Structure 1
Amino acid sequence: MTSQSEHPARPDLAAMLTDQTTACAPAREALLAGGRLRFSSRVAPDWTVRGIAATRLGWARKVGLVTLGLDESVEILSRHRDVSFLTGLLDAPDRSWFFTLYFDATGTGLLACSAVKNQPSTRKSVRRFVESSGSLAGAHDQTKAAPGSGELTDERPRSLHRSSSGREEHA
């Protein structure tokens, strides 16, 4: 879960965005221009945060997304083993870039920053992937390509239903 408010013990974030990665300067500009900032409500273990960042890097390379500092962030995170991280998300005011900020568990030290560009070709790449594989994340993903339309819908496949425990099962 994320929250709109700043962590009470967090120092000035703009001053923290120095030169950890190549995404820090654009993130600082986006923050000062009024970008939307949200923080995770809890810390996550190093392997979770590192795994998500590495998966995002692999996906970005596969579909040709423009990134800043993502490879550097993965490298920095891999040097911090057996610790927890707090993450923040920053959207540029014009939504042209989406930044991920990686903090120490207290939220007082910024370790890395990465960015993914919001670009029209991304949607086409995702759509092609969805149409060829049937989903973005496997059988539990409910976002499907509408047949022949090339558009994404949120319809649940008819072969899936929810059991009494809330889990999706094939009919």
Structure 2
Amino acid sequence: MTRDDLAAMLNAQTSACPPARDALLSGGTFIVWDGLVPANQLAHTYRTRLRLTQKRGQPTLALAATVDRLQQAGEEPLRIGRIDAAETSWTFMLFLNDAATAVLACTGVATPRTQEEPDADAK
């Protein structure tokens, strides 16, 4: 899958899709994994992540809407994708159909940039 192919699939499925597309087209890295996971299993996992991010006060985009879409998809097998924005600290998770030809849902989470560890030899 090319960057342009993926960008073309990111429409208005959830409110996180346009920012994910912008991150992708601005040089963000991306991957779509080969394996398939039932949508309802993903709904369970991301419902837990929703609770954790709310508890921590961590900013998210369309996480609740994504959980709803995954739950509605039932046992449909989905592929998972990820976009890491190049210039911001946002990571976007994508949920695509089994053929990776359409995006069902997309969510974003703000991730703190990790600081480089100082050189162990520097004193």
How would you bin the TM-score normalised by the shorter chain? 0.7 to 0.9
Q: Is the 8 A contact 1:11 1:108 kept in 2?
A: no
Offset from partner CA, 1:29-80 (integer Å, 9 cap, x none):
0000010101122111223211121111111011111000111100111111
CA distance in 2, matches of 1:77, 1:28: 20
The correspondence of residues 129-144 of structure 1 with structure 2, limited to 5 A, is none
The structure richer in helix per residue is 2
Partner of 2:18: 25
Using the size of structure 1 for normalisation, the TM-score is: 0.62
| Consecutive unaligned residues in structure 2, runs of 5 or more | 115-123
Secondary structure in structure 2 of the residue aligned to 1:113: strand
Partner of 1:44: 37
The list of structure 1 runs, each at least 4 consecutive aligned residues, that deviate by more than 2 angstroms after superposition, is none
State the number of aligned residues: 114
Partner of 2:60: 67
Partner of 1:102: 95
Secondary structure in structure 2 of the residue aligned to 1:22: coil
CA spacing shift, 1:52–1:95, aligned 2, 3 Å: farther
| Consecutive unaligned residues in structure 1, runs of 5 or more | 1-5, 124-171
Q: Is the 8 A contact 1:16 1:109 kept in 2?
A: yes
Q: Which has the higher Rg, Structure 1 or Structure 2?
A: 1
Partner of 1:111: 104
TM superposition shift of 1:89:
0.7
Amino acid at match of 2:17: C
Q: 1:34 aligns with which of 16, 23, 27?
A: 27
CA spacing shift, 1:111–1:28, aligned 2, 3 Å: same
Offset from partner CA, 1:82-121 (integer Å, 9 cap, x none):
211101011000241000000111111100000001237x
RMSD of aligned residue pairs (Cα, Å): 2.0
Secondary structure in structure 2 of the residue aligned to 1:54: helix
Higher relative contact order (CA 8 A, sep 6+): 2
Identity of aligned residues (%): 37
Q: Is the 8 A contact 2:40 2:73 kept in 1?
A: no
Partner of 2:5: 12
